[in-house]
Amino acid sequence: MTLLPPLTQGDWGDDEYAAVGALFGIPGDDVPRAGSGDPRDPMKFDILGVLARHPKMTREFLTFNGFLLQRGELPLRLRELAILRLAHTRSSVFFWGEHVRVATAGGLPEADIARLAGGNDGFEGTDLLVLEATDELLAVGRAAPETWKQLVDALGTHQAMEVIFVVGTYAMLAMACDTWALVPPPGSAQLGP
């Protein structure tokens, strides 16, 4: 049972719409209304309905998270490999389900997603570097100087910085969503062993 349920349709107001608008980079008045059925209807995304319970915090957080997801320089493939590795490592059922959907919609092959559960075998180049850096960040809370140098050499400073912020942000989100026992929508990919 979810410990912090999403807002119901009648709970959404100006502050909650403004908070969600920060994710999309639009004013709250332009966010589709809850229950509208629009593809960006906030009721289609339980995480938004949960986070919007604290609209001031959520507005600030989603501004940053929106940057990582929509305006950052790190390619979707590398971002989603890092998030999926984190979800698997932390056994985050919610983020595994959500980000398998995001990754496949963004063109990440299902075979690559399935391979993540087995470790780093079969990955190479920048994929392998980002996965190893993610593993290191999760294991010890920082990237070693050599790992940081390799990230910068392969990706440039901006993308290397984003790797660290993506892992840190989604580790925090996974911790919150797992605490609240948030579950992915029906039909989402299941987290394997």
Q: How many helices (H) and strands (E) does the chain have?
A: 9, 0
Percent of the chain with pLDDT over 70: 99
**Which has more confidence, 124 or 117?**
124
> pLDDT at position 1, please?
83
State the alpha helices, DSSP H only, in 1-156: 14-24, 46-51, 55-66, 76-89, 93-105, 110-116, 125-140, 145-155
**Residues 31-90 pLDDT 10s:** 999 999 999 999 999 999 999 999 999 999 999 999 999 999 999 999 999 999 999 999
Residue with tokens 């959500």: 98
State the average pLDDT for the chain. Answer: 95
> pLDDT at position 118, please?
87
Quick check: pTM over 0.85? Answer: yes
Which CATH superfamily includes the segment(s) 74-179?
Answer: AhpD-like (1.20.1290.10)
Residue with tokens 């392998």: 128
- In the chain, CATH 1.20.1290.10 covers 74-179
